[in-house]
Amino acid sequence: MEPVPNIAPFIGYVYPNETVVPWTVLIVVYPYLTGLVAGAFTVSSLYQVFGMQRFKPVAHLALLTSLCCMLVVPTPLLLHLGHPERALNAMITPHTTSAFAIFGYAASFYVLLLLLENWFVFRPHIVREAQRTNGALRLFYRVLSFGSDDLSEKAMRYDRKWIFALAVIGIPAAHGLHGYVGFVFGSLKSREWWSSDLMPAIFLFSAIISGTALVIVIYVISCRLRKEAVDLPCLKGMAYTLWGFMMFTLLLEGVEFASLVYRGREGTEMILEFVKGPLIVPFVILQFGIGSAMPLVVLTLMIWRGIGGKMLIAGVFVSACLVLLAVLMMRWNVIIGGQEISKTGKGLLTYTPTFLGREGLLVAASVIAAPFVLLSIMVRIFPPWSHAIRAP
Amino acid sequence: MTETRNKSADARRGFLRLLGGVVACAGAAAAGKVAVRPDEAAAEPSTVTPPAIPGYDWTKHRWAFGVDASKCIGCLRCVEACKRENEVIGDAHHFRTWVERYVYLEGEETPRVDSHSDPVNIEASGSEHEYRFANRYKDAKVEKAYFVPKLCNHCTHPACVQVCPTGATYRTDDGVVVIDHKYCIGCQYCVQACPYGARFFNEEKQVTDKCTWCYHRITKGLQPACVVVCPVGARIFGDLRDKQSSMSQFIRNNRTRVLKPESGNAPNVYYVGLDKDVF
């Protein structure tokens, strides 16, 4: 047998079996990715459903980003499973009482929805390319058009109806999928750090801010690469969205932590010791200090002072990068943190991820990078830039 | 041309209608699946096919386990027997049963707790395959000390069974929580859900693992390995359906308690001689 990975040293008393950490850095990546999916979809819906025209430049980019992230979501889970070849057991014979049994269905439904909405959004491009190009590329686009090459005003109206409907269904689907990920953790009564009714809501709001931040980062970088000017009203709109939802997120996180401490149930002393000790850097400094307080101050200043131009772009971009870090740290602090507090309530463990190996940092980083590699290919096949998709 | 266009639009509509139908059905099926009370599956008799064990009818038994902590001397024979009987991974991180030691030193308010898997005790035994409690408090003034054997509680409402996404782990009709190692996907959700730390991941088989009360033995009329080897009778096992069994008598003659009753799992390992500090 290979040496057992993830053995965690401990202080105090922990149950002997707890010294092997069950959920590793891959399970940190999984909710991070689903969060990005839900958040990016929200940005896209602000245009598609709520008709906010200022988000038009990023609407399709956000939708494509959402799809690319969603396609990678099952990967960290499959890599984590002891028997990935049996993964479908959960769909063939779903155990009805399990919070996790529905994942396969929910994820499949959402992937289907995203594929369909993307197809409608990029159909004009697909049809035009099928007529314009030659050879293999022509065949590729022709197959992708599914024989639907009608771009008349009537057909486009029909398409728009579908895009609207899919986006409307997509909002509860995306948010449900992510809120449900929060439920997977929040519903476990065995861990005080997880067991909270607010967990689904916290996961959801942090998802929205991470997705919005991701769209900001990708949009600014793509403008740079394509040597195009950043649409400032659009960027400002995303900054407002980020700022607003950050308020909700921080409030919920604050309320959750306060009620945990205030209730002071058994094991709370250990949790406080944990927060004041090993969690100072990842929780207090990275997640709240650098990741949340700093971007909040920067964004507030930007909005308050009405800053524009390059300063606005730089400020919002840096804030978005910090928010992406904060949400990653939030996932880490919830998932790893929860397992570092012993179920005995009398001990603390220390999980240190390995670099190599199936559940190591290298694999986790690759899984996080995969959607963006995929996206960089996708934007070449389906350009999401606003001028590329116009009705004929 | 117009006709072609209409045709293609019609075809698209048809395709989408079909797809919409499929999606709606899948969604409805999934929603129906989860709309079940969480403890329903655990409380009802299992729908699983009973094991094909000659002469054994699982509807005729109701197993339970007793621990008299005041008798335990911490010799750890139970731990070694369990490891051998069930081929549990031989290191300090995988146990189907373990023993905790609570020591109250003079002048200290809370007990010092350790188990045989504590690094100090492993160092004393010299190997991760052998277990003993090091005499680490020999220079201190000990006011009170006792041992507490622990194992899977085979709960009536097991949180581990509730969360299993495939149903690979289930409660048998005779009251034992077992895992189908051929069906488990190894997600370790059950490891997280167990408040007692009774479950672990078996890296050899890549599935989760835990105590089965030696199901392969008890269904043949034998006692679990840990019960057999205990030299002081601190571990009791028996059938609650048999009013004269050692377990029925243990519950009848003692005032017992269970661990973490507030978890709502309704555990089935009954303890005698526990102190308030045992968690």
- Residues sharing a CB contact under 8 Å with residue B155, sequence separation 6 or more, in sequence order: B177, B265, B266, B267, B268
Could you give the C-alpha distances from A148 to A116, A123, A156, A335, B6, in angstroms and in order?
14, 8, 11, 46, 10
Place of tokens 């059905």: B25
pLDDT for B41 equals 41
Do B165 and B149 share a domain, yes or no? no
Beta carbons of B94 and A17 less than 8 Å apart:
yes
- Chain B residue closest in CA terms to A110: B23
**What's the CATH number where B177 sits?**
3.30.70.20
pLDDT of amino acid A265: 87
Q: What is the amino acid identity at position A159?
A: D
Check whether residue B150 and residue B163 sit in a common domain: no
Nearest CA in chain A to B17: A162
The conformation of residue A7, written as its DSSP 8-state character, comes to B
Q: What is the pLDDT of residue B31?
A: 42
pLDDT score at A2: 63
Residues of A in contact with B92 (CB under 8 A): 16, 19
Question: Which residue among A94, A100, A109 places its CB closest to the CB of B27?
Answer: A109
Contact B184 A82 (CB under 8 A): yes
Domain boundaries, chain A: 10-381
pLDDT in tens, A63-96: 999 999 999 999 999 999 999 999 999 999 999 9
Render pLDDT for A31-61 as a digit per residue (tens, 0 to 9): 999 999 999 999 999 999 999 999 999 999 9
Partners of A22 on chain B (C-beta within 8 Å) are 188, 191-192, 201
Burial class (CB within 10 angstroms; exposed 0-12, middle 13-18, buried 19+) of B71: middle
C-alpha dist (Å) from residue B90 to A299, B101, B115, B128: 55, 21, 16, 7
Same domain as B174, residue B102: no
Task: Compare CB distances from A147 to B8, B163, B185 and report the shortest one's residue.
Answer: B8
Q: Are residues B151 and B74 part of one domain?
A: yes
pLDDT band with cut points at 50, 70 and 90 for residue B150: very high
DSSP three-state, residue B99:
strand
Let me know whether B75 and B142 are in one domain.
yes
| Chain A residues close to B116, C-beta within 8 Å | 16
- Interface check for B127 against chain A (CB to CB < 8 A): the answer is no
Which residues of chain A make contact with B23, given a CB cutoff of 8 A? 109, 112-113
B189 and B86 in a common domain: no
Chain A residues 232-271 with CB within 8 Å of chain B: none
In a domain, B256, yes or no: yes
Chain B, 12 to 71: residues with Cβ < 8 Å from chain A are: 12-13, 15-16, 19, 23, 26-27, 29-30, 33-34, 36, 38-42
pLDDT band at B33 (very low <50, low <70, confident <90, very high): very low
Core vs surface per residue B121-156: b (16+ CB within 10 A) or e: bbebbeeeeebbbbeeeeeeeeeeebbbbbbbbbbb
Q: Which residues of chain B have a CB within 8 Å of the CB of A7?
A: 93
Most confident of B27-31, B113-117, B127-131: B113-117
Tokens of A207: 């998802």
Q: Is it the case that residue A381 has pLDDT exceeding 90?
A: yes
- pLDDT tops 80 at residue A338: yes
Cβ(A193)–Cβ(A259) under 8 Å? no
β-strand partners of B235? B67
Cα gap A359→B169, rounded to integer Å? 24
Helix H or strand E segment including B207: strand B207-209
Chain A residues close to B91, C-beta within 8 Å: 4
B36: number of Cβ within 10 Å? 12
Q: Give the pLDDT score at B25.
A: 42
Q: Do residues B114 and B239 share a domain?
A: yes
Chain A residues inside the 8 Å CB shell of B94: 4, 17, 20
Output the pTM of the full model.
0.89
pLDDT band at B52 (very low <50, low <70, confident <90, very high): confident
Q: How far is B224 from chain A (nearest CA, A)?
A: 21
Of A252, A139, A127, A84, nearest in space to B184 by CA:
A84
Residues B115, B245, single domain; the answer is yes
Write the residue in B165, B196, B198 that is nearest to A95 by C-beta. Answer: B165
Q: Do A190 and B159 touch (CB under 8 A)?
A: yes
Do residues B66 and B237 make contact, with C-beta atoms less than 8 angstroms apart?
A: yes
Residues 154-193 of A with CB under 8 A from B: 154-155, 158, 162, 184, 188-191
Tell me which chain A residues have a C-beta less than 8 angstroms from the C-beta of B208: 82
Please identify, in words, the CATH class of the domain defined by A10-381: mainly alpha
Q: Is B98 within 8 Å of B76 (Cβ atoms)?
A: no
Nearest CA in chain B to A112: B23
Summarize the confidence of residues B253-266 as an average pLDDT.
96
pLDDT digits (tens, 9 = 90+) for A290-334: 999 999 999 999 989 888 889 999 999 999 999 999 999 999 999
- State the pLDDT confidence band at A281, using cuts at 50, 70 and 90: very high
Whether residue B107 sits in one domain with residue B234:
yes
Could you tell me the residue range of the domain that residue B104 belongs to? 61-155+212-272
Tell me what percent of chain B is helix, strand and coil, each rounded to the nearest 5. 30, 20, 50
Q: Are residues B230 and B117 in the same domain?
A: yes
* Whether A100 and B263 lie within 8 Å, measured CB to CB: no
- The model's confidence at residue B34, banded by pLDDT at 50, 70 and 90, is very low
Domains held by chain B: number: 2
Helix residue spans in A341-360 (DSSP H): none
Sign, Cα dihedral of A124, A126, A131, A132: positive
Same structural domain for residues B255 and B123? Answer: yes
Asked if residue B8 belongs to a domain, the reply is no
In this predicted model, what pLDDT tens digit does every residue of B206-256 receive, in sequence order? 999 999 999 999 999 999 999 999 999 999 999 999 999 999 999 999 999
- Quote the mean pLDDT of chain A: 93
Higher pLDDT, A17 or B44: A17
**Which residue out of B12, B19, B177, B208 would a mutagenesis test of the A interface target, given it has the greatest number of A Cβ atoms within 10 Å?**
B12
Whether B41 is in a domain gets the answer no
Helix axes A294-305, A232-263, angle to 10 degrees: 140
pLDDT at B26: 44
> Residue A24: which residues within 8 A CB-CB, separation 6 or more?
A5, A6, A80, A351, A353, A359
Contact B189 A98 (CB under 8 A): yes
pLDDT at B1 over 50: no
Interface probe for B, chosen from A10, A30, A88, A95 (most Cβ of B below 10 Å), is A95
Same domain, B88 and B179: no
Is a pLDDT exceeding 50 seen at residue B28?
A: no
Tell me the average pLDDT across B132-144: 94
| Chain centre to alpha carbon of residue A25 | 15
Res A387: pLDDT: 60
Query: Measured on CA atoms in the order B83, B88, B91, B92, is the torsion positive or negative?
Result: negative
ipTM score:
0.93
Contact: A16, B117; criterion CB under 8 Å: yes
pLDDT of B35 reads 38
State the best of B87, B192, B202 to mutate against chain A, taking most chain A CBs within 10 Å: B192
B150: left (phi over 0), alpha (psi -120 to 50) or beta: beta
Contact A16 B9 (CB under 8 A): no
Chains A and B: how many Cβ contacts under 8 Å? 189
Distance between CA atoms of A350 and A12, rounded to whole angstroms? Answer: 12
Q: CA-to-CA distance for A84 and B139, rounded, in angstroms?
A: 52
- Rounded distance between C-alpha atoms, residue B182 and residue A352, angstroms: 31
